[in-house]
């Protein structure tokens, strides 16, 4: 039950002492459960098609055919040729290969906005690149980007969907600036948070390099891909075997790749219906939280509650005076699982560099929480969250007084 604010007497919140035996997994932007289609495809690839695809005998050829079939599926979903798909060990490697691969081959200057995932941001910084600002919604500041572009720039990386806020970045204006002011530069987009929600083939058609990661759209962890258009050359970061047309050495993870392709196929086939269903659930969750929790604000969403510029699964909120870590601990006690934003290896929560770049004051950013829905989210998840989350906020706000 959602307890909205009214002008009448305040109704008591339910106790935080195990209000329900339900659970709500709302951290799909960190990782989403593996789709059944992916599991069904992965098991035979482990038990039957287990040859090394670089080999010459029949079992190796079977593995190579499975790899080629998966490459065809990814190529269709990403709007490229099968030979343009480079399989990697995940999104981080794909981002690193795009940035450091182009810089390693061509030198020059690499550029990205301050809100990029650290897989891009740290790679740009390591290459001595330029980081440009964003506006209050997290979209790249086109004037700042223009100022950063010149003939020395060899790569510009702008993510299609922000991993924390869910805001969608239109790439065409970026591509126009790059073509005009940095004619040597290649455009890379991190589409890791986009593939499950958006037609990446269409929205990233002007990108020269595109990164995706399987476990964000229902595939297994540890496998991803980078689109490298035919006229793009880059320096391999992993060498020694010559796989992936000498762009990424190492025996391919055939079971993981086959499962990724199955998850991609399922995502593509159900994207429109899933987006509509999950968007409605997200709206109910976000509206319920805004109505029930004093001082709660949705990131990059105005008073009109227009969320059309965000992907369907994203509900990112802040409450000043509430520390994220304390809130997440209370939520976990009642089986609501969310996150502060971008995941890191230690699990420690730090103020978001994304929110800082957007101009969000530090006291507000310290209370940021990302509730993210995915392909298998349900009405029951939202029901449970709306029962538990406002009570947790009330408890922490009471302690803060």
User: pLDDT tens for residues 382-395?
Assistant: 999 999 999 999 99
Q: How far apart are CA 221 and CA 210, in angstroms?
A: 18
pLDDT at 11 over 80: no
Asked if residue 6 belongs to a domain, the reply is no
Asked if residue 236 belongs to a domain, the reply is yes
266, 293, 326 — which closes off a domain? 266
pLDDT at 131 over 50: yes
Instruction: Pick the catalytic residue from 112, 127, 315, 344.
Output: 344
Amino acid 3: pLDDT: 31
- For residue range 53-101, list pLDDT tens digits in order: 999 999 999 999 999 999 999 999 999 999 999 999 999 999 999 999 9
Q: Assess whether 355 and 383 both reside in one domain.
A: yes
Q: How far apart are CA 267 and CA 274, in angstroms?
A: 9
Dihedral of the alpha carbons of 171, 172, 175, 177, in degrees to the nearest 10:
-110
- For residue range 318-346, list pLDDT tens digits in order: 999 899 999 999 999 999 999 997 555 44
Q: Assess whether 280 and 376 both reside in one domain.
A: yes
Burial of 333 (0-12, 13-18, 19+ CB in 10 A): middle
User: Among 19-28, 29-38, 252-261, which stretch is predicted with the lowest mean pLDDT?
Assistant: 19-28
Structure tokens at 245: 């047309």
The candidate with the shortest Cα–Cα distance to 315, out of 330, 331, 334, 296, is 296
Annotated catalytic residue 344: yes
pLDDT bucket at 19, cuts 50 / 70 / 90: very low
Q: How far apart are CA 139 and CA 158, in angstroms?
A: 10
Q: Assess whether 63 and 180 both reside in one domain.
A: yes
Altogether, the residues listed in the chain come to a count of: 401
Contact partners, residue 319, CB within 8 Å, separation at least 6: 293, 295, 296, 297, 367, 393, 397
Asked if residue 15 belongs to a domain, the reply is no
Residue 153: which CATH number? 3.40.640.10
Asked if residue 295 belongs to a domain, the reply is yes
Q: Assess whether 366 and 240 both reside in one domain.
A: no
Query: Tokens 């339900």, residue?
Result: 22
Asked if residue 96 belongs to a domain, the reply is yes
Amino acid 20: pLDDT: 44
Alpha-carbon distances of 274 from 162, 278, 380, rounded to whole Å: 20, 6, 16
Q: Assess whether 261 and 278 both reside in one domain.
A: no
Q: Assess whether 251 and 128 both reside in one domain.
A: yes
Whole-number percent of the chain with pLDDT over 70? 92
Q: Assess whether 344 and 305 both reside in one domain.
A: yes
Amino acid 4: pLDDT: 32
Residue 327: which CATH number? 3.90.1150.10
Q: How far apart are CA 243 and CA 240, in angstroms?
A: 9
Which contacts qualify for 3-12: CB closer than 8 Å, 24 or more apart? Answer: 3/292, 3/390, 4/288, 4/291, 4/292, 5/291, 5/292, 5/294
79 contacts 243 by C-beta, under 8 angstroms:
no
266, 281, 306 — which closes off a domain? 266
- In sequence order, the β-bridge partners of residue 318 are 297, 368
Determine how β-strand 153-157 pairs with β-strand 109-113: parallel
Q: Assess whether 254 and 302 both reside in one domain.
A: no
- Give me the mean pLDDT over the 230-236 stretch: 97
- For residue range 190-227, list pLDDT tens digits in order: 999 999 999 999 999 999 999 999 999 999 999 999 99
Q: Provide the domain count of the chain.
A: 2
pLDDT at 9 over 50: no
Q: What is the mean pLDDT of the chain?
A: 92
DSSP code for 11:
P
Q: What's phi and psi for 240, nearest 5 deg?
A: 135, -20
Q: Assess whether 97 and 154 both reside in one domain.
A: yes
- For residue range 281-307, list pLDDT tens digits in order: 999 999 999 999 999 999 999 999 999
Determine how β-strand 297-298 pairs with β-strand 314-318: antiparallel
pLDDT bucket at 13, cuts 50 / 70 / 90: very low
233, 266, 299 — which closes off a domain? 266
DSSP code for 250:
S
Q: How far apart are CA 27 and CA 31, in angstroms?
A: 7
Amino acid 349: pLDDT: 55
Q: Is the pTM of this model over 0.85?
A: yes
DSSP code for 196:
T
- Which residue range(s) make up the domain with 289? 24-33+271-400
Q: Assess whether 316 and 346 both reside in one domain.
A: yes
Amino acid 401: pLDDT: 60
Q: Assess whether 203 and 314 both reside in one domain.
A: no
Asked if residue 13 belongs to a domain, the reply is no
Amino acid 234: pLDDT: 96
- For residue range 132-147, list pLDDT tens digits in order: 999 999 999 999 999 9
Q: Assess whether 239 and 375 both reside in one domain.
A: no
CB atoms within 10 A of CB 337: 17
């Amino acid at each position: 039950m959602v307890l909205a604010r009214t002008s009448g007497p305040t109704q008591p919140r339910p106790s935080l002492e195990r209000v329900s035996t339900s659970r709500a997994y709302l951290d799909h932007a960190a990782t989403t459960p593996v789709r059944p289609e992916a599991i069904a495809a992965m098991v035979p690839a482990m038990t039957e098609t287990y040859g090394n695809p670089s080999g010459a005998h029949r079992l190796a050829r079977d593995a190579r055919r499975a790899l080629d079939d998966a490459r065809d599926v990814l190529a269709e979903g990403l709007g490229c040729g099968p030979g343009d798909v480079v399989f990697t060990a995940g999104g981080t490697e794909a981002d690193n290969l795009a940035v450091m691969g182009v810089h390693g081959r061509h030198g020059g200057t690499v550029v990205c906005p301050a809100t990029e995932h650290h897989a891009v941001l740290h790679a740009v910084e390591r290459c001595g690149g330029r980081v440009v600002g964003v506006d209050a919604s997290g979209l790249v500041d086109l004037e700042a980007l223009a100022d950063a572009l010149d003939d020395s720039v060899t790569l510009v990386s702008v993510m299609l969907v922000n991993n924390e806020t869910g805001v969608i970045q239109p790439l065409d204006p970026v591509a126009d600036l790059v073509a005009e002011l940095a004619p040597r530069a290649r455009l890379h987009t991190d589409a890791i948070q986009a593939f499950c929600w958006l037609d990446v083939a269409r929205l990233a058609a002007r990108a020269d390099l595109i990164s995706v990661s399987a476990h964000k759209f229902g595939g297994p962890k540890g496998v991803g891909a980078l689109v490298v258009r035919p006229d793009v050359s880059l320096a391999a970061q992993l060498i020694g075997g010559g796989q992936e047309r000498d762009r990424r050495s190492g025996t391919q993870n055939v079971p993981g790749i086959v499962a990724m392709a199955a998850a991609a196929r399922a995502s593509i086939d159900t994207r429109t219906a899933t987006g509509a269903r999950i968007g409605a659930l997200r709206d109910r969750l976000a509206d319920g939280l805004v109505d029930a929790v004093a001082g709660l604000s949705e990131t990059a969403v105005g008073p009109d509650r227009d969320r059309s510029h965000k992907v369907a699964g994203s509900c990112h909120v802040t409450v000043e005076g509430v520390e994220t870590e304390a809130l997440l601990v209370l939520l976990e006690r009642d089986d609501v699982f969310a996150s502060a934003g971008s995941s890191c290896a230690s699990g420690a929560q730090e103020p978001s560099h994304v929110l800082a770049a957007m101009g969000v004051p530090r006291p507000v950013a310290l209370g940021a929480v990302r509730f993210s829905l995915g392909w298998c989210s349900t009405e029951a998840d939202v029901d449970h969250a709306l029962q538990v989350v406002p009570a947790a906020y009330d408890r922490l706000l009471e302690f803060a007084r």
